Amino acid sequence: MAIPDYQAVMLPLLKMAGDGRDHRLRDAVEVISNEFNLTEEERKALLPSGINTVILNRVGWARTYLKKSGLLELPRRGYFRITQRGETVLSQNPERIDSDFLMQFPEYVEFRGIRRLRGNNNTGGGGAATKVSDTFNYGSEQNPVERLELAYEELNQELASELLETISNASPRFFEKLVIDLLIKMGYGGSRKDAGQAIGRSGDEGIDGIIKEDRLGLDVIYVQAKRWQIVVGRPEIQRFAGALQGQRARKGIFITTSRFTVEASDYAASIDTKIILVDGTTLAKLMIEHNVGVSVESAYEVKKVDADYFEE
């Protein structure tokens, strides 16, 4: 039997979790391999990168999509278990769970970058699903470079989501360290020692730390870092702005793992003091861009013919 694709793995994976216990991904790979009667050669087949096996990769992505749909949850690193929604789905005895099946869950639709538009005359007013950037349509209408770039974007989206989940489980002190590391990688803060002494030690209301804008310290930036799940509203930004004015500061950065309300963003844009708002999505993207908390798993080079070489 051929190695199943990630969609074929979804239902067996959810059934495995149906006992309500915590399960390891590695154990799930063994169970799925047995379920599909994979040969030893198929179990050991590697991705082109040569790092992970094909079956581990596909079981991992099946778990990701089930989690994004609210059918599974990750109680701790490397483990998964079924949710109440997942139990409800199992009780319905579906013949198959795939991407089309998961479209009924808004969390999945949002994660996959899909929006529902009102149907035209051909749809009878129904909600036709349209992909905003066609990010996940790997059909023949896209060339190989486009498919590669879109797959890369999907990987980064999942990585960003995993980063935010990991941060939410970290301690406040570790989050302070993370903020320091990121700002330094972005060119702020002078030395690591200087930044470490500044963050979390100012003791001023509404200010978590002070960091140099450049290595010479020609100007300073005041920092507020909140590892929150709740949305940050205008009052929090007003308090931060007031604290900056009390210090006669001109620049500030408000970093959160959640997001900002429209009112908060509008207020920050309307005042004279320059306050940059960094929400969870932006924070994760910056971490990926500057290699903070992430490492390179594999790298692919796209090459083309060097026309200059063949000139005679």
| Residue 105 and residue 185 share a domain | no
Per-residue pLDDT at 219 = 82
In a domain, 19, yes or no: yes
In a domain, 203, yes or no: yes
Q: What is the CATH number of the domain that holds 89?
A: 1.10.10
| Residue 87 and residue 185 share a domain | no
Q: Considering 112, 147, 163, which residue would you say is the last residue of a domain?
A: 112
Q: Considering 95, 112, 129, which residue would you say is the last residue of a domain?
A: 112
The number of folded domains in the chain is: 2
Q: Considering 112, 145, 162, which residue would you say is the last residue of a domain?
A: 112
The 10 Å Cβ neighbour count of residue 289 is: 13
What pTM value is reported for the model?
Answer: 0.68
| Residue 279 and residue 178 share a domain | yes
Provide the H-helix boundaries in 112-171. Answer: 144-168
Per-residue pLDDT at 295 = 92
Per-residue pLDDT at 128 = 40
In a domain, 125, yes or no: no
Per-residue pLDDT at 132 = 35
In a domain, 133, yes or no: no
Per-residue pLDDT at 180 = 85
Confidence of residue 119 (pLDDT cuts 50, 70, 90): very low
Expressed as residue numbers, the domain containing 27 is: 6-112
Which single residue is written with the structure tokens 């004279």? 272
In a domain, 93, yes or no: yes
Q: Would you put residue 71 in left (φ > 0), alpha (ψ -120 to 50) or beta?
A: alpha
Confidence of residue 254 (pLDDT cuts 50, 70, 90): very high
What gap in Å lies between CA 143 and CA 161, rounded to an integer?
Answer: 28
Of residues 211 and 140, the one with the higher pLDDT is 211
pLDDT reading at 244 higher than 60 = yes
Q: What is the CATH number of the domain that holds 254?
A: 3.40.1350.10
Torsion of CA 85, 284, 280, 73, to 10 degrees: 20
pLDDT reading at 283 higher than 70 = yes
